Structure 1
Amino acid sequence: MPSESLLSWLEGRRGLCDMTVQEIPWQHSGEWRYREGALQHKSGGFFSIVGVEATAGGRPTLRQPLINQPEVGILGFLLQHRGGEPHLLIQAKPEPGNIGLSQAAPSVQATRSNYKRLHHGKPTAFLQYFTGDPAATVRADSLQSEQGTRFLGKYNRNMTVELPAALELDLDDAVYRWAPVREVCALLVSDFQINTDARSVLASSDWSALAGGDAPFSRCRGQGGFGEALLRSYGAGPAAEQASDGEILQRLEQLRAAHPFAVATVPLDDQVDWLEGRQPRLLGPAGSFDVRQVAVSSSEREVHSWDQPIVAQEREGTAVLLAREFGGVLHLLFRGRAEIGFREGFQYGPALQDAGGAPSPVPELDAEERLLEAIHRRATPVLSNLHSDEGGRFYRSVARYSIALLDPADELPVSPSLSWMTLAQIARLVKRQGVFSNEARSLISMLLAYL
């Protein structure tokens, strides 16, 4: 379990957090305007709320608002060996939509607008180590997607950068803290401790670098149970695989070819009640979310007050990975999922997912989800935790992330959209762009509690 000192530090930061969040009519905003069919910041930077329509076979299948933030941000952890053990530099970052306001975040979590200081606020600390400082060694660097049900084609750089052990940083101890990797990873199976961006960076990192001098998952050797099953799966070779890496990637390409859909931005003019002030919130499809305007103040952020649109989801979401042994080797099941905001159309997501009721742009594939739900009811829960989505864009948006173990005797559906993967395969493929969704990476990160 995480040390009390790390947990008490995070709790202490929450107790001292002075952030306030108040909903306001968007027409009262001093910083946002409706123009060119979208809700935009007056600077033209940061992000905008746009209308998006998906069409397949020449007919519309889905229309909804999305966050349009084409600039690529940096999400990165600094890694350093301290006292012979790998540590990560944790930031207690307050965000208006976080459960508890402050959660553990990467060392750097910054949009391009922020680190270019479009807000005229404080500079981003430690940014230089992610932009070419010769003292830093890059251990992982990949473009990874954000939620495709909420963002339009959004990617961020996910980075892990190692610093020499002798390098001392000038830290604001109220905001930053070095923590052993093993303690950070233990928090991945605690509710509302590690934010979305940190989970994504950890999942797509070099797990060997995180483990230090030990092989990943080797501490589970001889302990039996799920941890030792992960160790065997991480060490499994091609002979144990249900499909090769190439076949797994080819299935995604085949899904994209078999179920193409086009996406285009459209004006938000159809939301007449919102535009004319009778409805304070911009409504998403099928009641899955709404967009509201909030005024925020905090002495801990680069600027002390601002207002912004934020996406709110009332219903608790779910994301489930199913696990099963084949020939004594644990595999995890991912499903190729279509989301309106994916540049590629499809990525591997959880076996089961409910993003607050968000509909799919390819509804003909929904029947497969219902079949997997029936199988899931027979599974044995292994891990289950509540996490909230990134609090800078989502307001108290919560999902239950679960991993459940199937009996090897269970009959399973065979489908072009389903792929069983060993942990060794996941560790390789998660570093690639456009393979795993944000929700899938959060589930993968939970496995690192056994690292």
Structure 2
Amino acid sequence: MFTDLNEFHAWFAHRNREQRHRVTRIDLDRIEGWSADPVTGNLSHRTGRFFSVEGLDLTRSGRGAEAWQQPIMVQPERGVLGILVKDFGGVAHCLLQAKMEPGNVNGLQLSPTVQATESNISGVHGGRAVPYLDYFAAPRSGRVLSDVLQSEQGSWFLTKRNRNMIVRVDGDVPVLDDFCWLNFAQICALLRVPDLVNMDVRTVLAGAAALRLREGDAAADTFRGALARSWRAEDPLHSMVEVLSWFTEAKGRCTLARRPVPLAKVEGWRHRDGAIVHERGLHFSVIGVSVEGSGREVAGWQQPMFEPRGQGVIAMLVRPIRGVLHLLVQARIETGSLDGVEMAPTVQCRPENYEGLPEERRPLFLDEVLGAPAERIRFDSVHSEEGGRFYHARNRYLMVEAGDGFPLDVPDDYTWITLRQMTEFVKYGHHLNVEARSLLTFCGFYEEE
């Protein structure tokens, strides 16, 4: 435990020095342990485990482009993302790890107590066992606070899910060198630091957002107070039944059709300079990396990764309705989502992909977000996405108060919900996408600067 954040940052810097790590880009056809199928070109590991990179054909998308093809990651395994929580002096603390991931822009980031794929859990890599895993496997000694199968990035994964868990323990827990206890107030502050708290911590802590919101002072004349009142709200604009009906209708309108295609035949993509790239330099590339890292279960490995083009924007517009803060969510068609549609933030895109397009082709409300004056931006920080699969994938996360005159009536694929409703949806899989769960964590762990 740390008495202040200066002590934490000193510890974190020390762990960064102690964990020697190096990531080198290599040609896809030189990745040790991986090979391309001679017929399809699909990339897979020699064990048949971990994940594969394949081709996907999409039609009737209901989005700006009605049809396209792309590489997609196929990882049918369900990993475990788990955080241990324990009270010290009546204050809840989370056990987090300083962990290197090959795609991190800065080497180490804070990760959950356990962050492991099924292949890693079963020892396919031939390395050390995953620490603390027993706390998340039945029968377990702790009390489960949250346990749900949640989706991951639907633009790059095909129907991938991970088990998100929070387990409270009372007994002694040995603390290994790369692990530390942080209380919720400390995590609140660290969430404002760019590229520090990784995506897996954010998605798991969405399951604890209600705990934090419950502690908020709803009477305070602050944005934190408005968030607390939004969680307590019993008279939302739309009831839970109405929101679920809206969501079901959106899924019913979805006509997205998917079919696998050989990676070697994906239209609009080319093998160039040892990578698979989009012919217009958009979206992302499939690259190879060689990894050396002293703090992982194995000391070195090689793998494919997705490298996005440009920095994304993930933003939630908020506004008071009937005196209660509401959030504007969209029912977003996701390339790889199990149901085709999940609730997403107001804006979720990479602006570079829309440069030069007419206004009607640009994402709704993007200009409202990017043009907002500083006094209406309540949260603004750049964070990394899944560093185990995506190379230097970063998004700018924002919470923006809608301007005067912003309409209450919104297009059919959008609706206003309260934070209380959002925390209810996170209890179940395939409702909130991973980007929305990150923003829910930012709301639940929000503190005034």
| TM-score for both structures, normalised by structure 2 | 0.90
2:336 is the alignment partner of 1:341: yes
2:285 is the alignment partner of 1:281: no
Please tell me whether the aligned partners of residues 75 and 201 of structure 1 are also in contact (alpha carbons under 8 angstroms). yes
Please tell me whether the aligned partners of residues 36 and 42 of structure 2 are also in contact (alpha carbons under 8 angstroms). yes
CA drift of 1:410 comes to 2.6
Helix, strand or coil for the counterpart of 1:260?
coil
Determine the C-alpha separation between the residues in 1 that align with 2:298 and 2:344: 36
| Alignment-derived partner of residue 44 in structure 2 | 40
User: Counterpart of 1:216 in structure 2: which amino acid?
Assistant: R
CA drift of 1:222 comes to 4.8
Determine the C-alpha separation between the residues in 2 that align with 1:234 and 1:273: 45
Distance 1:26 1:375, change over 3 A: closer
Distance 1:144 1:184, change over 3 A: same
Please tell me whether the aligned partners of residues 289 and 356 of structure 1 are also in contact (alpha carbons under 8 angstroms). no
Instruction: List aligned pairs for 1:50-449, cutoff 5 A.
Output: 50-56=54-60, 61-164=67-170, 167-172=171-176, 174-205=177-208, 207-208=210-211, 211=212, 216-218=214-216, 220-237=217-234, 239=235, 241-270=236-265, 278-284=272-278, 287-355=282-350, 369-371=363-365, 373-374=367-368, 377-378=371-372, 380-407=376-403, 409-449=405-445
Determine the C-alpha separation between the residues in 2 that align with 1:82 and 1:4: 20
User: Counterpart of 1:143 in structure 2: which amino acid?
Assistant: L
CA drift of 1:271 comes to 5.8
CA drift of 1:16 comes to 2.9
Distance 1:378 1:84, change over 3 A: closer
CA drift of 1:23 comes to 0.8
Q: Tell me, which stretches of 5 or more residues in structure 1 are unaligned?
A: none
Q: Which moved more, 1:58-67 or 1:347-356?
A: 58-67
Please tell me whether the aligned partners of residues 383 and 395 of structure 2 are also in contact (alpha carbons under 8 angstroms). yes
Q: Tell me, which stretches of 5 or more residues in structure 2 are unaligned?
A: none
Q: Which moved more, 1:365-374 or 1:253-262?
A: 365-374
Determine the C-alpha separation between the residues in 1 that align with 2:365 and 2:32: 49
CA drift of 1:65 comes to 0.4
CA drift of 1:266 comes to 0.8
Please tell me whether the aligned partners of residues 139 and 206 of structure 1 are also in contact (alpha carbons under 8 angstroms). no
Q: Which moved more, 1:152-161 or 1:52-61?
A: 52-61
Q: Which moved more, 1:405-414 or 1:289-298?
A: 405-414
User: Counterpart of 2:7 in structure 1: which amino acid?
Assistant: S
User: Counterpart of 2:412 in structure 1: which amino acid?
Assistant: P
Distance 1:450 1:269, change over 3 A: closer
Q: Which moved more, 1:133-142 or 1:380-389?
A: 133-142
Determine the C-alpha separation between the residues in 2 that align with 1:421 and 1:278: 45
Determine the C-alpha separation between the residues in 1 that align with 2:61 and 2:347: 26
Helix, strand or coil for the counterpart of 2:77?
coil
User: Counterpart of 1:350 in structure 2: which amino acid?
Assistant: P
CA drift of 1:374 comes to 3.8
CA drift of 1:366 comes to 6.8
Determine the C-alpha separation between the residues in 2 that align with 1:334 and 1:372: 13
Determine the C-alpha separation between the residues in 1 that align with 2:349 and 2:401: 19
Determine the C-alpha separation between the residues in 2 that align with 1:350 and 1:312: 22
Question: What are the Cα deviations for residues 189-241 of structure 1, in whole angstroms up to 9, with x where unaligned?
Answer: 22111000000000123632xx4xxx7242x455422011011111110x2x1
User: What is the CA RMSD across the aligned residues, in angstroms?
Assistant: 2.6
Helix, strand or coil for the counterpart of 2:54?
strand
CA drift of 1:402 comes to 0.4
CA drift of 1:18 comes to 1.1
Helix, strand or coil for the counterpart of 1:428?
helix
CA drift of 1:427 comes to 1.1
Distance 1:206 1:382, change over 3 A: closer
| Alignment-derived partner of residue 14 in structure 2 | 12
Please tell me whether the aligned partners of residues 29 and 274 of structure 2 are also in contact (alpha carbons under 8 angstroms). no
Distance 1:366 1:110, change over 3 A: farther
Determine the C-alpha separation between the residues in 2 that align with 1:352 and 1:285: 26
User: Counterpart of 1:228 in structure 2: which amino acid?
Assistant: G
Distance 1:370 1:285, change over 3 A: farther
Question: What are the Cα deviations for residues 103-160 of structure 1, in whole angstroms up to 9, with x where unaligned?
Answer: 1100000000000110010011111111113411111001111011111111101100
CA drift of 1:171 comes to 2.2
CA drift of 1:272 comes to 10
Determine the C-alpha separation between the residues in 2 that align with 1:242 and 1:278: 52
Distance 1:394 1:352, change over 3 A: same
Question: What are the Cα deviations for residues 217-269 of structure 1, in whole angstroms up to 9, with x where unaligned?
Answer: 42x455422011011111110x2x11112222222221222131111111012
Determine the C-alpha separation between the residues in 1 that align with 2:209 and 2:86: 14
Distance 1:310 1:376, change over 3 A: closer
User: Counterpart of 1:189 in structure 2: which amino acid?
Assistant: R
User: Counterpart of 2:229 in structure 1: which amino acid?
Assistant: R
Determine the C-alpha separation between the residues in 2 that align with 1:424 and 1:303: 42
The number of residue pairs the alignment matches comes to 435
Question: What are the Cα deviations for residues 315-370 of structure 1, in whole angstroms up to 9, with x where unaligned?
Answer: 011011001001211111111111111111111111011146569xxx9x975833
Determine the C-alpha separation between the residues in 2 that align with 1:426 and 1:417: 16
Distance 1:283 1:413, change over 3 A: farther
Q: Which moved more, 1:150-159 or 1:411-420?
A: 411-420
Q: Which moved more, 1:280-289 or 1:184-193?
A: 280-289
Please tell me whether the aligned partners of residues 317 and 400 of structure 1 are also in contact (alpha carbons under 8 angstroms). yes
